[in-house]
């Protein structure tokens, strides 16, 4: 995965420990974050690879709104989450939705 991800640029950084604490309260048996990297490419919502700090090292994908002033109808990651969560029980191949964080103090 290292060729697909990179260190997080300053403009997209957030508090890893705050996110880890939040996920610990929302994902069963979550063991904390070992690493957070940003997927390269893409032109819209920044996307990150989260690696758990546990023997199995589960990996999760996080999408967030970009920094700065945004149009109200743009970058609706909450809409993406709800649509994919609704499609999953219908047999549509979508990733498993774990948690929707709407607290801007966690990742911006």
- Fold entry, domain 5-107: Phosphorylase Kinase; domain 1 (3.30.200)
- pTM for this structure? 0.87
The pLDDT, as a whole number, for residue 45 is 86
The pLDDT, as a whole number, for residue 61 is 96
Asked if 8 and 16 touch (Cβ cutoff 8 Å), the reply is no
Along the chain (108 residues), what's the average pLDDT of each consecutive run of 10 residues? 85 94 96 95 86 92 81 78 97 96 91
Domain extent listing, the chain: 5-107
The pLDDT, as a whole number, for residue 1 is 57
The pLDDT, as a whole number, for residue 92 is 97
The pLDDT, as a whole number, for residue 55 is 84
């Amino acid at each position: 995965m290292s060729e697909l991800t990179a260190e997080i640029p300053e403009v997209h950084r957030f508090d890893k420990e705050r996110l880890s604490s939040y996920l610990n309260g929302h994902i069963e048996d979550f063991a904390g974050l070992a690493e957070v990297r940003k997927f390269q490419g893409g032109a819209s919502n920044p996307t990150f690879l989260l690696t758990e700090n546990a023997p199995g090292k589960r990996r999760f994908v996080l999408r967030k709104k970009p920094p700065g002033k945004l149009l109200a109808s743009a970058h609706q990651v909450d809409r993406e989450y709800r649509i994919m969560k609704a499609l999953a029980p219908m047999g549509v191949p979508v990733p498993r939705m774990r948690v929707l964080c709407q607290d801007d103090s966690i990742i911006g």
